[in-house]
Amino acid sequence: MSGALTVRTVIDGTEYSQDDIRWWELDRARTALTLLKSRIGDELMRELLTEDLRAADRAMAPLPGASDGAWRSAVTERWKSTGSTPTDS
C-alpha cells in the first residue's frame, strides 16, 4: 500500500483527479486569454502581459534567494520550450 494521498473530486457522480481539475482550469484560463486577446488586440495584450511580468519581478525581488527576473526567466523559458508565446491562441 502506498503512503501517497490521492485527492479525488466527485461532481454529479463523476470522479475527477486533481490533474483533471488542473487541466480544466488551464483550459479555462487559455480560453479567457484568447477571448481577451480577440477583444483588445495583439499589441495591447503584449503590453498587459509585459507589465504583468514586471509586477511579478517586483514581487519576487524581496524573497530570499530570488534574483531580479527569476520568475520572468522561468516563464520565458517555459514559453520557449513549448514553442509558444503568451499571446499565441
Q: What is the pLDDT along the chain (89 residues), one digit of tens a residue?
A: 455 666 777 878 888 888 888 888 888 888 888 888 888 888 887 887 788 777 776 665 555 555 556 656 666 666 676 665 555 54
Q: Dihedrals φ, ψ of 10, to 5°?
A: -110, 125
User: Rounded distance, CA 83 to CA 89, Å?
Assistant: 12
Residues 62 and 88 in one domain: yes
Contacts of residue 72, defined as CB under 8 A and 6 or more positions apart, other chains included, come to 53, 54, 56, 57
Q: What pLDDT was estimated at residue 37? A: 81
Q: Are 74 and 66 in contact (CB under 8 A)?
A: no
Residues 31 and 8 in one domain: yes
- The residue segments making up the domain with residue 25 are 1-40
Q: How many domains does the chain have?
A: 2
Residues 15 and 55 in one domain: no
Residues 36 and 78 in one domain: no
Residues 49 and 86 in one domain: yes
